Structure 1
Amino acid sequence: MSNHKSMPKDKGLDHTLSVLREGYEFILNRSNKYDSNIFETKVLGEKTICLTGKEAAELFYDNAKFMRSGAAPKHVQKTLFGENGVQALDGEEHQHRKAMFMALMTSDALNEIAELTKKHLEAFAAQWETQEKIIVYEEAKKILTHVACEWTGVPLEDEEVDERTNQLADMFESAASIGPEYWKGRRSRNAGEEWMEELIQKVRDGEMNPPSHRALKQFSNHRDLNGELLDKQIVAVELLNLLRPIVAISVYMSFTVLAMIEYPDQVLSLKSGNETDRQNFIQEVRRYYPFFPFAGARVKEDFTWEGYKFEEGTLTLLDLYGTNHHPDLWDDPKKFNPARFESWQGSPFDFIPQGGGEFDFGHRCAGEWLTLDVLKETLSYFVTGLTFEVPEQDLSYRMSEMPSLPKSGVQLSNLVRQKNG
């Protein structure tokens, strides 16, 4: 007689359309419906286990139980992640490739990313003063394309800023799309990889010599576990795995400014320049607003957890958004409250806007520290470096859209730089 518990199960043949319809709230809705942090459904015709919550995250990031290889649908690989990148690796190969990314995250490098963000914000703000209004999201993408290219050592000419910005943005804007938008994302992914491969070849041939600490140089010369140079296409994917996520911070930049607009009472304390208050505000932006809906993995071999059976090869999704809004983890999770982070203990499993687990040997996003530095600099600049007005607009955002963004892109008018900013 089996001691396995019966897992709550979605009725119906397939729920892919429900994922597209409900977006970030797909897992959260069913977790509430079944009053369970685990349930079974079908996505893209495949049995799928969905998890949410801190204990589920601890399970999901156990590398002995789950593997990332084969978890991301081809649809997503061909737009968002690229093929054969670090997200799809496991074991020693993953650790070796992840170390290539982590080597970039030095304190000096993170300080530089903050300085580059400030530099390009100031340069763009000089232009904003001459314009009737700006759309924060569109400006943020261009600012971060400049930041990403300069930080990684990728050359960027003025005349190609719009083209490269659009290519990098298409990769994350189209990941959950179908039809023309999806094919637009695929074309941009292909063009982006061609762009990177050309640069990599020039570095390897000695035609370009970027500084040794830049990612373009380090990744081009990186060797695998067998001591061989990585295939040029894989290096291109990994360089885009730096550039694309940095540009994707534009989503958070837009929500940061939106939070300033929606919660002006929370902004008053930020003007004093208190670093802790600004950090808490940014963390609450990352917890409260949608960014990435869920992460995927496959069961490495059969095991049982809390009475539930997990079979080898089963696709498993961890609810990132839902865990950040889980009532067992967060008091009044639907309320925007930066003060909640004053007592947060820093667990790698209850606050997972960009994934969970450990940085060095797990699958937590290597760019999370970088994200914080970019956003703190952005918040500081918009709080003390600018004055602006907020014209009438539609600031609503839909949870069914991935990525979700304010419909207006957050429009500001009458921007003026402050001398003491």
Structure 2
Amino acid sequence: MDAHRRPLIDRTPALLAEGYAWLPNRMRDSNGSVLRTRLLGRPALAVRGPEAVRFFYDESHVRRHGAVPAPVLDTLFGQGAVHTLDGDAHRTRKELFLPLLEADPVARLTDHVTTAWDEAVRSWSERDRVVLFDEAAVVLTRGVRDWAGLPPRSFDAEPLALDLVAMVDGFATPGPRHLRARRARARQETRMARLVEEVGSGDLVAPADSVLERVARHRDPAEGPLDSRTAAVELLNVLRPTVAVSWFVAFAAHALHRWPAHRERLRGGDAEFATAFAHEVRRFYPFAPFLGGRTVTGLTWHGESVPAGGILLLDVYGQNHDEELWGDPYAFRPERLLDRPPGRDELIPQGGGDPAAGHRCPGERVTVGLLEALAVRLARLEYTVPEQDLRIPLRRIPTRPRSGFAVTGDALPDRASAHPSTTRQATTRTGPVG
């Protein structure tokens, strides 16, 4: 029987078992940059590479409406979110976010977050042990809460951080983590919807041109003002991905522990190196395994086909570790991104294409800006890394160092005049990614 006519076995169980390695392993076995498979009961085509990124983001090929599984909507994105829209509806809704993600607003958000970080660091010396993932989540929540215009008295940072982390942590797995994510989203959507209603009724005045004020007054041309629940969803779609940067902060700490030579250039204030370091953290460490959409029509890519109504997958983790693109991709080497800044559709940890017109995450600039600032601050801290489990399991989506990266010691901000050699090095070996 012709290989293209053989029934495809559904690989969803293998995805759940193998995590990030599932698609790259299958792509490697196929000896190419395309793979026919079956996922979630549908025929699927997986692609990789800059040319494939452009193919994937062509709206005549793929639609998002109906493509995101309900469990992901009920945890990560929310029902009716911008991620589920196509065409003009998507572009119009995205205009809600784009002005907030220009250079000046991002700089203000970074200022809020770094102020919260510096305040938190001053208290760490009083504690026996600090878990950086958990602390970063609270710091990021406090910063984005204040920047977005949420009233601090009504939204305490620690419980809000727990819920925002839960939404990300449980979107891709069955079981207790998923149930926590669902409960967290339901709880926060209710609270955010009530907040939007208070702004709409005049009971609460939102700061001018804040995220809260923009969401409360946004109008979709076809639908009119957002209902309070959809507005709550989109408000969370600013808060949640900002707090998700805590994953990258933990990865940055992991990288500085394994390759401490990078610490000196970060401590010295080399801005170009800080950017390259942030990009290399996003490239090297696993976050999104792949992206998917529903095929509008039958598609063929490099000789492999998928029918209309099937699934097109973009192999994000595999592309970020593609030897042809990166050369020695499993080496952590920020210098590679100084030598040759990546093209738009080469480095895709948060998707590819044009963020203004397409589905690439418009918050990518936020992620990079925050990671640059916090990586420098991590490099300037004095701390010891005690014995702990620093392995990063690829079967877990989203993954992170198992211990969350705990530190002990003074954890005080390094003074500008201090020599880099004053930073105490770790007392334990770091386990490999895997």
Task: Provide the TM-score with structure 1 as the length reference.
Answer: 0.95
- State whether structure 2 residue 353 is matched by structure 1 residue 387: no
Residue range with higher mean Cα deviation, 305-314 or 349-358 = 305-314
* Displacement of 1:398: 0.4
What is the identity, as a one-letter code, of the residue corresponding to 2:383?
F
The farther-off stretch of 266-275 and 150-159 is: 150-159
Pairwise CA distance, 1:301: 1.9
Aligned match of 1:97: 93
Q: Would the aligned equivalents of 1:282 and 1:375 in 2 still touch at CA under 8 Å?
A: yes
Q: Quick one: which amino acid aligns to residue 38 of structure 1?
A: V
Matched, 1:339 2:335: yes
- Residues 357/33 of structure 1: CA separation in 2 closer, same or farther (3 Å cut): same
Aligned partners of 2:14, 2:48: CA distance in 1, in Å? Answer: 18
Paired-residue identity, %? 33
Match of 1:402 in 2: 397
1:373 deviation in Å?
1.0
Q: Distance in 2 between matches of 1:305 and 1:177?
A: 30
The answer to whether the 8 Å contact 2:12/2:39 transfers is yes
Say if 2:162 is the partner of 1:169.
no
| Residue identity opposite 1:398 in structure 2 | P
Partner of 1:365: 361
Q: Could you tell me how far 1:272 is from its partner in structure 2? A: 1.9
**Partners of 2:67 and 2:147 in 1: how far apart?**
30
Match of 2:310 among 308, 311, 314: 314
Question: What pairs up with 1:234-249 in 2 under 5 angstroms?
Answer: 234-249=230-245
Aligned partner of residue 328 in structure 1, secondary structure: helix
Q: Which stretch shifts more, 173-182 or 255-264?
A: 173-182
Mark the CA change 1:58 to 1:420 in structure 2 (over 3 Å): closer, same or farther.
Answer: same
**1:244-255 matches, cutoff 5 A:** 244-255=240-251
Q: What secondary structure is seen at the aligned counterpart in 2 of 1:58?
A: helix
AA in 2 matched with 1:318? L
Distance 1:256 1:165 in 2: 20
For structure 1, which runs of at least 5 residues remain unmatched after alignment?
A: none
Change (3 A) 1:413 1:7: farther
- Does 2:223 correspond to 1:193? no
Is the CA contact (8 Å cut-off) linking 1:8 and 1:38 kept in structure 2?
no
Query: How far, CA to CA, are the matches of 2:143 and 2:248 in structure 1?
Result: 15
TM-superposition CA deviations, 1:13-40 (whole Å, max 9, x none): 3221211111111110001111121112
Cα distance, 1:315 vs structure 2: 1.2
Per-residue CA deviation, residues 188-246 of structure 1 (Å, 9 max, x unaligned), is: 11111001100000000011111122110001100011371112111111111111101
Aligned pair 1:260/2:252, yes or no? no
Q: Secondary structure at the match of 2:293?
A: strand
Following superposition, the deviation at residue 94 of structure 1 comes to: 0.5
Matching residue within 48, 54, 61 for 2:57: 61
Structure 2 Cα separation of the partners of residues 215 and 412 of structure 1: 34
One-letter amino acid of the structure 2 residue matched with residue 183 of structure 1: L
Question: Do the aligned partners of residues 7 and 293 (structure 1) sit closer, same or farther apart at CA in structure 2, a change above 3 Å counting?
Answer: farther
Q: Give the equivalent residue in structure 1 for 2:178.
A: 182
Give the deviation of 1:146 after TM superposition. Answer: 0.5
Residue equivalent to 1:84 = 80
- Report the counterpart of residue 423 of structure 2 in structure 1: none
* Distance in 1 (alpha carbons) for counterparts of 2:49 and 2:113: 34
- After superposition, the C-alpha distances for 1:109-157 in whole angstroms (9 at most, x for unaligned) are 1111121121011111011011111000111111111112111111233
Q: Which secondary structure does the structure 1 equivalent of 2:391 belong to?
A: coil
How far apart are residue 159 of structure 1 and its match?
Answer: 7.8
Matched, 1:20 2:24: no
TM-superposed CA distance for 1:8, in Å, is 10
CA RMSD in angstroms comes to 1.8
Q: State the distance in 2 between where 1:29 and 1:39 align.
A: 11
Q: Is the 8 A contact 2:19 2:397 kept in 1?
A: yes
Change (3 A) 1:188 1:208: same
The answer on 1:329 being equivalent to 2:325 is yes
1:395-414, Cα deviation, whole Å (9 max, x unpaired): 11101101111011101111
Q: What is the deviation of 1:6?
A: 6.0
SS at match of 2:300: strand
Contact kept? 2:43, 2:307, Cα under 8 Å: no
User: 2:275 is matched with which residue: 279, 288, 308?
Assistant: 279
1:44 Cα deviation from its structure 2 partner:
2.2
Q: TM-score, normalised by structure 2?
A: 0.92
Unpaired runs of 5+ residues, structure 2, are 418-434
In 2, distance between residues paired with 1:417 and 1:328?
A: 40
CA contact (8 A) 1:133 1:411 kept: yes
Please state whether the residue corresponding to 2:340 is helix, strand or coil.
coil
Q: Is the 8 A contact 2:112 2:143 kept in 1?
A: yes
Counterpart of 2:294 in 1: which secondary structure? strand
CA contact (8 A) 1:24 1:290 kept: yes
Report how far residue 12 of structure 1 moved: 6.3
* Distance across 1 between alignment mates of 2:299 and 2:30: 23
State how far apart, in whole Å, the 1-side matches of 2:356 and 2:54 are.
16
- CA gap of 1:406–1:191, structure 2 versus 1, over 3 A, is same
